[in-house]
Amino acid sequence: MWLELLTFLIGIAFGFFHKGKEDYWGILRNGAVLGIVIGVLAVLISMFLAPGSTSLSFDFLGAFGTILVILVFVILMVAGAFIGDRIERVLRK
């Protein structure tokens, strides 16, 4: 749960501090790439460095479960980036 919350907060910060015109396709693309990187790192951390209730666990599904967990991190990152962009738009007006 903590890694998911951290990923969401990083997404909000990424969307907020990403300057320039609201290029939603660019935010989606960059957020997805960053979400994949964070998702892979979070899966590795939750599997090897801190096993237990640090993050989501679909271990019983094998590789498909790992891909699902990475997909959840990507969705959280992209959602956070869009929310951060909306916050930036509201505060910068």
Specify the pTM.
0.74
Q: pLDDT (tens digit, 0 to 9) for every residue of the chain, 93 residues total?
A: 777 888 899 889 988 887 766 677 877 788 788 888 887 887 777 777 766 655 666 566 667 777 787 888 888 888 998 899 889 888 887
Residues 69, 58 contacting (CB under 8 angstroms): yes
DSSP 11-41: HHHHHHH--SS--HHHHHHHHHHHHHHHHHH
Report pLDDT for 6: 85
Give me the pLDDT at residue 59, please: 60
Q: How many domains, the chain?
A: 1
pLDDT at 22: 66
Print the domain residue range for 44.
2-92
